[in-house]
Every structure is written in structure tokens, then in C-alpha cells.
Structure 1
Amino acid sequence: MDKRLTQYRDAVYEQVVKVGKSLGNVTRLRILDLLVQGPKTVENLANTIGLSVATTSRNLQILKRANLVTIERDKNFIMYQLASDQLKQLVTLLVSVAEQSQPELTAAQTTLAQQSGSPQVLTLEALQAKLTVPSTYLVDLRPVDEYEIQHLPGAHNIPYDELPQHLAKLPHDKEIVVYCRGRLCAYANVASQELHDAGFKVATFNQSVWEWSQVMPGQTD
């Protein structure tokens, strides 16, 4: 084989491996999954993940060296964001592949659904149909900053941590549909159980706003 071809292939595969290595870590994958929701500071990411700012920053630098995240200054803050929308596709695809190839993942999802007693998990199409009727009350459980970037049409923002304070304001004559950050986020399942136990008719949507926007273009607020 031509030596030039061997050198070329070794070199380009090494660059692909560099991306793979940067993804092969739970913390860094969680960071990427959070950044699918929108730009965040290192402090915001650290607080959400439950790690120190120093540890979070080290992992962000690895992602930055692999050109998977970029930084942008917003007044006195440094915001981290995904380098391209392709990374949103990549994170979503990784989850889908893992669901198909790793039975432990689907078992964990099933166990969570059983433990949380989720009465109904909606597909994209099922949610779209429910949003056409006034008897559906859609709740976005994400933090305010993520909701303001993009949310499902007509969704009311009640961050998960504030849900108990809002129970008295939710309509009992409508079906409450809750969603959060996607399939790796358990907040929607847990919230649906809490709402169900409080006497509400409730359903869960476990896909992300970004996934919705890819199937239902133009149908976000």
C-alpha cells in the first residue's frame, strides 16, 4: 500500500478518535447534553451537574480543545455553547443508539417509569395532537433561562424545584403534560408522579425541545 495513504488514514482517524475520546466521559456528556438547551456559564453547569467549578472547567477545556464547545463573552460572564447544531444531533443520536444497543439503559428507563408511576408517556405525534385541544396544559420544567431560549408552543414555565409552590395554581379540569430536557432527564417522570399523587390528570413528554423542533419545524416559541 502507498505509504502516503497509510499516513493519511492514520492521521485522519486519529482526529476522529480525538472527538470520540472527548465524548467518552459521563461528566462531559452531561455537559454537552445541558448545552443542547442553550449557552451556560461554568458556574451554571457546575451547579446543575453537582460538581465543583474547577472540575467542570477542566472538562470544558477538554471539549474546547476538541472544538466541540466555544466561548462567548456576555458582559461579565463567559458563556459556553456547542460549536454547531451537529453536536445536538450527535448527542441525540448517541442516546438513540444506546437505547437500541444497551439493554441496561432501556431497563433503567423502564424501572424509572414504573417507580414514578407515569400514567402516560407521549410520543411527538401524540403531544402534537394534544396541543390542538384546549384541555391540555403544558408545563416546561426547565430553568427560566432555558425556557426563554426556546420552548414548546403554549408551554407554561414552572421550574421543577418550584413545582410544589405552584400546585394550587394548576388547573384540575385540564390534563397536565410535563416535559424537561429529554430522555436522559428524570424530572418529567418524577414531576408526573407528584402531580398524579396530587390528584391531577397527567402525561409525560420525555423528548427535548430540540428534538421537537427537528420534527415540528417552526412550532416552538
Structure 2
Amino acid sequence: MGDRSSKQALFAEFAAVGKVLGNPARLELLDLLSQGPRSVEELADAASLGMSTCSAHLHTLREAGLVESRREGKRIFYSLTGDDVARLWEHLRNVAQAHRPHTELARRAYLGPEDTVSVETDELLRMLQNRDVVLLDVRPGPEYAGGHLPGAIHIALEELPGRLSELPRDRPIVAYCRGRYCVLAHDAVRLLDANGLDARRARDGVLEWRSAGIPVTAGAGAA
């Protein structure tokens, strides 16, 4: 039978994880790492953090056991320690969405109006199997290389205005990005719609697909 002190020690371990999650910048880093491994430089740039600040947050996440690092030459790369960490991040978001009213207000302010057509994952997978759709990944290149749905072509959002002619007009285009709280696919579909293409967005993204066990493919792939 455990005594009170051992129980407190156990709950202190749980609390250590919760304490680390109580920081918006660290949550954004987890969100980025749910897309695949990234270097410190890439993470700092994507999260708009200084290198020293980003490194400090990553050190804290590593001390909590949520991320791990490896060195390649002079560069250090970070990754999640497991898919369960990605699921933890997803569950945290779902709880906030379900029980904190201001979460929905913040979501709408960030993602913008509900002016794009969304496609559920089951429907998207059916369309891909039947080759009824062009799947477009609009995330930055390192995230696409870290993991994407098989068959997806890659055009980063910032490149999309100059590459519209590369997209077919005889099939619908479904754009996707990091997940349900990522604005990239919303903005991509708005741009495609404005230029006369049949565009929709995937309701889910790489985070949700990984959490659901849907295979993603790593590597540069199609461009």
C-alpha cells in the first residue's frame, strides 16, 4: 500500500506535464512538431521566436519527456517522443473547444468566416481512392517533407498565387494543412475560389490523421 508521500510524488509527475503545457509558445511548438521533426532554426522561424527563447522552450519540453532531440552536424532537430504526445495536444484542444466558450470566439477570429466548403476525412479518403480529387498540401516545405498524405502535391501557401496555372480545372481541389485550427487551408481555398477553381478544404489535417492512425508519407515527394 502506498503512503501519502508516494501518492503526492506520483501526482507531482503528472503535474509536471501539465505545467509544461501551460504556455502558449510551447503549445505552438508541439503543434509544429506534430507535423514532423524540425530543426531549432525552422521552429524558431515558424513560431516567430528568437533562437534562445525557442531553445529554452524546447529544453523545457524535453525535460518533461514530450520531445526528443538529435544532432546532425551543427544542427539540432527535435521531434515528439511519440504519437501519444500528438494525441495529448489534440485532446487538450478538444476539451478547450468543448468547455471554454471563448475558445470558439478566438477560433473564429483567427480562421475567419465560415466561407469555405469542408470535406470530412472519410469522404476525402473515398475521393482519393476513386481518383476524384486533386489533394493539395499548402504547408511549408519542411512540414510536407515530414509527413503528408500519399498522392498529395505540394504548393506552399505563399507560392500559390504564382502557381495557379499548375492546378487542373477539371477536378475538385481539396487543400489541407496542419489541422482543424490551421488557417493555411482556409486562405488557400479562398484564393482558389476567387480564381475560379473548384476548391474545398479538408476539415482535418496531419495532426488528426496521425492521431487516427491514418498513414502519412515522409519525403519531398511531388511538387
Which residue does the alignment assign to 1:174? 171
CA-based RMSD of the aligned residues comes to 2.1
Relative contact order, higher structure (CA 8 A, sep 6+): 2
For 1:190-201, what aligned pairs fall within 5 Å after superposition? Answer: 190-201=187-198
Q: Alpha-carbon deviation of 1:48?
A: 0.4
3-state SS of paired residue (2:65)? coil
**Residues 108 and 130 of structure 1: is their aligned pair in 2 closer, same or farther, counting only changes over 3 Å?**
farther
Percent identity over paired residues: 35
Structure 2 residue 165 is matched with structure 1 residue 164:
no
* Paired residues of 1:116 and 1:192 also in contact (CA < 8 A): no
The range that moved more, 104-113 or 53-62, is: 104-113
TM-score (norm 1): 0.90
Q: Distance in 1 between matches of 2:36 and 2:72?
A: 14
**1:84 is aligned with what amino acid?**
G
* Paired residues of 2:209 and 2:215 also in contact (CA < 8 A): no
* Paired residues of 1:180 and 1:206 also in contact (CA < 8 A): no
3-state SS of paired residue (1:80)? strand
**1:147 is aligned with what amino acid?**
Y
Q: Distance in 1 between matches of 2:36 and 2:122?
A: 25
**1:89 is aligned with what amino acid?**
R
Which residue does the alignment assign to 2:152? 155
TM-score (norm 2): 0.89
Moved beyond 4 Å, runs of 4+: 110-114, 218-221
**1:144 is aligned with what amino acid?**
G
Q: Distance in 1 between matches of 2:216 and 2:72?
A: 28
3-state SS of paired residue (1:154)? coil
1:10 to 3, 8, 11: 8
* Paired residues of 1:112 and 1:189 also in contact (CA < 8 A): no
* Paired residues of 2:87 and 2:211 also in contact (CA < 8 A): no
Q: Distance in 2 between matches of 1:67 and 1:213?
A: 20
**2:191 is aligned with what amino acid?**
E
**1:190 is aligned with what amino acid?**
D
3-state SS of paired residue (1:115)? coil
Aligned residues: 218
**Residues 13 and 109 of structure 1: is their aligned pair in 2 closer, same or farther, counting only changes over 3 Å?**
same
3-state SS of paired residue (2:78)? strand
Which residue does the alignment assign to 1:126? 123
**1:131 is aligned with what amino acid?**
L
Write out per-residue CA displacement over residues 161-194 of structure 1, whole angstroms, 9 at most, x where no aligned residue: 1111111211122111000011221111111111
Which residue does the alignment assign to 1:204? 201
For 1:69-80, what aligned pairs fall within 5 Å after superposition? Answer: 69-80=67-78
For 1:111-122, what aligned pairs fall within 5 Å after superposition? Answer: 115=113, 117-118=115-116, 120-122=117-119
2:39 to 38, 41, 45: 41
**1:79 is aligned with what amino acid?**
F
Which residue does the alignment assign to 1:25? 23
